[in-house]
Structure 1
Amino acid sequence: MSDVPSAEALPADAPPAEAQPSDAPADGSAGDAPSAEGAAPGPSQPSENPTFTLFYFNVKALAEPIRFLFSYGGQEYEDVRVTRDEWPALKPTMPMGQMPVLEVDGHRVHQSISMARYVAKRVGLGGTNDWENLIIDTAVDTVNDFRLKIAVVSYEPDDEVKEKKNITLTTEVIPFYLEKLDAIAQENNGHLALGRLTWADIYFAGILDYLNYMTKTDLIEKYPNLKMLLKSY
């Protein structure tokens, strides 16, 4: 891929990109679904060449890095885009009542970063040892921390509170994270880890359109090393 796809135009009345309906919290859960990080009991092992089905709403957001990873690796998968009307019936079948969910040989798992890490290893974008995997994970988790700080403001329901939070976000939080990430990319030949292409780069590229959507801006316009990152795969 030479670049991130252009911003996905959403209708003015579109629900938040992380979940539908529009009153869903910003952590990726839907309705009254819990947002717990705990995993369900482990399923049996899938086959060496499993089938994959990715469930999410018809938006980019949390599922896009996983889609990018499948695309990079040339891995076939079924991309199920769930509609608002379909979600109530489907919700009880999901491990934590939320999406995205990845089905591997019929076994459904949740947590978008864990899914991305799993796919990344399958397509050769993980580290070669525990230390390298740690470095990659720190980059991914930093980008995800950035996303969460933006989401807290983007999904704030009180307009007055949102306006105050947005001042801190735009003048302090966003510049801090982007300057740090741009410096990391400069030190790593246009990458976020290990001086080479890893799934940290693709995670950032996949989530960037969503970050731009929430902030209503081109976040990396003034950050040349992050721009270089988008052209690196």
Structure 2
Amino acid sequence: MPAYKLMYFDTKGRAEVIRLAFAAAGQSFEDKRFPLSMEEWQAVKPTIPQKQLPCLQVDGRLIPQSGAIMRYVAREFGLYGDNNDENTRVDVIIGTAEDFLKNAFALRYEKDETKRAELKKDLEENKLPQFFSLLEEILKENNGGDGFFVGKKISLADIMIYDITDQVGAAAKLPAFPPKLGGLIDRVKNHPKIKEYLAKRGD
């Protein structure tokens, strides 16, 4: 079995969905977190592909790009669906999530307080309800919405949507979840291995 080392900063950010995927798989990994002071990271940066984090080390091989890493981990541990149709369904949900995340990132990086307030209001009143409604419809296409986004078991799609609601919820007021989506979020949180990880994470 390879040794896995995930390198990122000491925050959730783009690495948390990868940490959650490792947790769901029951796979141990070294969770290397560089202090946000950046000094240690600046010393290591020249040795990292594309000079950015997150980066996953698999034995001696380094994999950059958060999207590539999360898909690698999902494929490696059976979190990417059982056939091409299911793989594609996971990709559709990831793409839908990434479209939405552009709005969340715009809020995170906006420095002007007036513009930030406008973006936050639009996120809470328009973008989040639209996103949740879209996810509800996608979820209902599989087992009436009473299971997971893909097939009959948890996948990267479920983990990513849970992580987005968790992280965005720390920065903005979430609207009420539609019923099926709310049920899914609870199932992900209560997945035994994820529940154990979240208890250790402590928030």
Question: What is the TM-score of this pair, normalised by structure 2?
Answer: 0.81
Within the candidate set 163, 174, 181, 1:226 is matched to 181
What percentage of residue pairs aligned between the two structures are identical?
Answer: 34
Residue in structure 1 matched with residue 149 of structure 2 by the alignment: 192
Displacement, 1:190?
Answer: 3.8
**Where in structure 1 do 4 or more consecutive aligned residues deviate above 4 Å?**
none
SS of the residue aligned with 1:108?
Answer: strand
Instruction: Give a deviation string over 1:84-116, Cα, whole Å, max 9, x none.
Output: 231221222221222111111121111112211
Residue in structure 1 matched with residue 41 of structure 2 by the alignment: 87
Residue in structure 1 matched with residue 68 of structure 2 by the alignment: 114
SS of the residue aligned with 1:214?
Answer: coil
d(CA) in 1 for partners of 2:141, 2:175: 17
Instruction: Give a deviation string over 1:52-108, Cα, whole Å, max 9, x none.
Output: 100011111211111111111121211001112312212222212221111111211
Within a 5 Å distance, the mapping from 1:97-176 to structure 2 comes to 97-176=51-130
What is the identity, as a one-letter code, of the residue corresponding to 1:74? G
Question: Aligned in 2, Cα 1:231/1:175: closer, same or farther, shift over 3 Å?
Answer: closer
Question: Aligned in 2, Cα 1:160/1:231: closer, same or farther, shift over 3 Å?
Answer: closer
Instruction: Give a deviation string over 1:9-47, Cα, whole Å, max 9, x none.
Output: xxxxxxxxxxxxxxxxxxxxxxxxxxxxxxxxxxxxxxx
Residue in structure 2 matched with residue 76 of structure 1 by the alignment: 28
Structure 2 unpaired stretches of 5+: 192-203
d(CA) in 1 for partners of 2:116, 2:159: 30
What is the identity, as a one-letter code, of the residue corresponding to 1:96? Q
Are residue 65 (structure 1) and residue 65 (structure 2) matched? no
Instruction: Give a deviation string over 1:100-150, Cα, whole Å, max 9, x none.
Output: 111111211111122111111121122222222111111112112212211
1 or 2, which has the higher helix percentage? 2
Residue in structure 1 matched with residue 137 of structure 2 by the alignment: 183
Question: Aligned in 2, Cα 1:231/1:172: closer, same or farther, shift over 3 Å?
Answer: closer
SS of the residue aligned with 1:231?
Answer: helix
Residue in structure 1 matched with residue 5 of structure 2 by the alignment: 53
Q: CA RMSD in A?
A: 1.9
Instruction: Give a deviation string over 1:155-178, Cα, whole Å, max 9, x none.
Output: 111122222333332222111111
SS of the residue aligned with 2:171?
Answer: helix
Structure 1 unpaired stretches of 5+: 1-48
d(CA) in 1 for partners of 2:128, 2:161: 15
Question: What is the TM-score of this pair, normalised by structure 1?
Answer: 0.71
d(CA) in 2 for partners of 1:220, 1:76: 35
d(CA) in 2 for partners of 1:211, 1:193: 23
What is the identity, as a one-letter code, of the residue corresponding to 2:134? K
Are residue 204 (structure 1) and residue 161 (structure 2) matched? yes
What is the identity, as a one-letter code, of the residue corresponding to 1:142? T
